[in-house]
Structure 1
Amino acid sequence: MISKKKLAKLTASIGAVVFGIAATQAAANADTIYTVKSGDTLSSISYKFNKDNSLVNKIAQQNSIKDINKIYVGQRLVIKSDGEIQVAPSQTTTQKSTTTNDSQQSATSTVSGSDAAAKAWIANRESGGNYGATNGQYIGKYQLSASYLNGDYSAANQERVADQYVASRYGSWTAAQQHWIANGWY
């Protein structure tokens, strides 16, 4: 019988070998991992790699992106040397926010408990918690449509409008989180 300690070492060794092979294959194919930044769109990413918008639909299709106008700050895309694009495996766990003066603002919210946890979870997925994040027509920590914010992009207004939007559409942040999990958006 193998002890837990030996099993852990064996598993780690196998993982290192597999990772080494995967890293070697990626280097051989000259793949690029692109991390979505604030302000990026599928069109701008396509232009960066192909100097035109011809990859937009391919990016969306291969990444199961339902709304081509909605990608996430910190989302990682693998751009293959042959033009194929796939989501990097750690897309949802390695999101980072860009820090700007706007993103350092804080505001209070009226939600608590599991709704507060769900709200924080959604904010992390939408913008990495960054009040200054933009993605086409979507603005701020909760990636709300600019039309909902009426030109006031302050942290306090983003919090207030996000709470109103979720209450009217889903009833609670927990329900909005369940919708996000099922559909990749809220």
Structure 2
Amino acid sequence: MKSLKTILFGTTAALGLGFFGTSALADTLYTVKSGDTLSKISNEFAGNNSLVQQIAKENNINDVNLIHVGQQLTIRTNGEVAPVQETQPAVEAAPTQEVQQEVAVQPEATTSYSGDSSSAKEWIAQKESGGSYTASNGYHVGRYQLDPNYLNGDYSAENQERVADKYVADRYGSWENAQSFWMSNGWY
């Protein structure tokens, strides 16, 4: 009799999922997308900003204003049903490796493109680190969020500028092309 109840319950539960779609209970793994903030994520899961501090605490985020594209966050919804977000993780490649990724990222309404190398370079620096040479997302470092291996232990502003210029020249040919790629993909 016990196995009949188990089969009946399991079949009913599976049937219910088939009719009502996919949902997750309690914890959901969320991949940060371009344009996301903790407030926006909290609103998506709770309909308000009530989860901001909880998300920050549970994901060891020291600055609630600093999250990064591709970062994985665990969102606890206290047993309430939360929609499962199917996301595509961010893909990064070495400078010599060509990687194509389909990501639907809408440029911000305030984004302007001037076609000038120095403005394109500054635009990327602001998007990647807010212009800070000491910024870090836990792995990538500096004004242009470079792989630490490219910097060879020299995190000086001069070396960051030199390495970023070489990386962009080798991979994109120009800062304008790098900015165009960033605007389409949310990273460069």
- Category of TM-score, reference length = shorter chain: 0.3 to 0.5
Normalised to the residue count of structure 2, the TM-score between the two structures is: 0.47
Normalised to the residue count of structure 1, the TM-score between the two structures is: 0.48
Task: Return the index of the structure with the highest Cα Rg.
Answer: 2
Higher helix residue share: 1
